[in-house]
Amino acid sequence: MRTLILILLLVATSAFAGNDFDAGWEAGWAAGWTDYHGRMSIVPITPLPPLPPLGEDDFQGGFKYGYAAAIRR
């Protein structure tokens, strides 16, 4: 029983762990927000990232899309 709970816990946490695209999205959002609103502005909570397009599911792709989304707001 204990091992079953441990396995379920590991599976659940790995499903919500995020990836490089998500980290890039957050960094790009913060960089875009501060570039557009000024260095001294307070960056709001980062919105949820979209599903990454094929071939751009790395940190660089996430940063690019996060930056563009922050500039549009």
Whether 24 is in a domain gets the answer yes
Q: What's the pTM value of the predicted model, to 2 decimals?
A: 0.72
Whether 11 is in a domain gets the answer no
Number of domains present in the structure of the chain: 1
Residue 60: CB partners within 8 Å, gap ≥ 6? Answer: 24
Which residue segment(s) compose the domain that 63 sits in? 18-72
DSSP 73: -
Mean pLDDT rounded to a whole number for the chain: 85
**Using alpha carbons only, what angle is made at residue 66 by residues 63 and 41, rounded to the nearest 5 degrees?**
110
Tens of pLDDT, residue by residue over 40-64, are 999 999 999 999 999 999 999 999 9
Please, are residues 48 and 17 in contact by the beta-carbon 8 Å criterion? no
Give the Cβ contact number of residue 1 at 10 Å: 5
46 SS3 class: coil
